[in-house]
Amino acid sequence: DGGITQSPKYLFRKEGQNVTLSCEQNLNHDAMYWYRQDPGQGLRLIYYSQIVNDFQKGDIAEGYSVSREKKESFPLTVTSAQKNPTAFYLCASMEEGRKNIQYFGAGTRLSVL
Amino acid sequence: EDQVTQSPEALRLQEGESSSLNCSYTVSGLRGLFWYRQDPGKGPEFLFTLYSAGEEKEKERLKATLTKKESFLHITAPKPEDSATYLCAVQAGGTYKYIFGTGTRLKVLA
């Protein structure tokens, strides 16, 4: 089945620790996205990538980093510089062309210990 | 500035009581407007995309419409399983980015 797989489903971070969230897609989409969702707020864009080996900062990139070495994979690292990382993180990929529809993974919930 | 506003924030309906959710937007050159359904603790599920004013899409009890300033998601005779948060997003022309509203939390009571 084609889709977007995020792992882990739940993640806990200790003070000063970097953690990496995985996102893999087998939809053959070029564009991929990372969003952060907090209660009562809309999805906020962290980073996006239109093509392999290229990515751009979104609206809230501080304290996060990404890489795009393969078309299928777009991992997000939450660094120790992100002081308020507790949130629900969503990865998406986009079917480009006329439709431009983004499809989402199931999400990773990150909490601070 | 590109912006999306959804109303109401929350809505409680009795089973069978039809209603509408609103998504007002301001965007430079609308490329597409998207509706998603999100269940608690899960990722958003794509419902509809609309591209130009006057366009309408239907799926089961849901119907989405679009004008130059807003979109409506009409829910006809809702059932408890329609309870979810409904998200609206727009894509401006020339960009790969979506702008999301904060969503409407819908609760349908049996």
pLDDT at A98 over 70: no
| Predicted pLDDT at A42 | 87
Structure tokens at A90: 């969503």
pLDDT tens, A1-60?
A: 679 999 999 999 998 899 999 999 999 999 999 999 998 888 999 999 999 999 999 999
pLDDT at B4 over 80: yes
Q: Which of A37, A38, A93, A102 to mutate to test the interface with B (most CBs of B within 10 A)?
A: A102
Q: How far is B42 from chain A (nearest CA, A)?
A: 5
Average pLDDT estimate for B39-64: 96
Q: Do the beta carbons of residue B20 and residue B75 sit within 8 Å?
A: yes
pLDDT tens, B24-34?
A: 999 988 999 99
Q: How far is A91 from chain B (nearest CA, A)?
A: 9
Per-residue burial over A32-59, b = 16 or more CB atoms within 10 Å of its CB, e = otherwise: bbbbbbeeeebbbbbbbbeeeeebeebe
In this complex, do B46 and A103 lie within 8 Å of one another by their Cβ atoms? yes
Q: Which residues pair with A70 in a beta bridge?
A: A73
Share of chain B above pLDDT 90, in %: 91
Average pLDDT estimate for A57-80: 97
Beta-sheet strand order (sheet of A76-78): A4-7, A19-25, A76-78, A64-66
pLDDT at B75 over 90: yes
**What is the spatial distance between Cα B13 and Cα B107, in angstroms, rounded to a whole number?**
6
In this complex, do A42 and B87 lie within 8 Å of one another by their Cβ atoms? yes
Average pLDDT estimate for B77-105: 94
Which of the two residues, B106 and A2, has the higher pLDDT score? B106
Residues 35-74 of B with CB under 8 A from A: 36, 41-46, 49
pLDDT at B20 over 90: yes
Handedness of CA A88, A91, A97, A101 (dihedral sign): negative
| Predicted pLDDT at A1 | 63
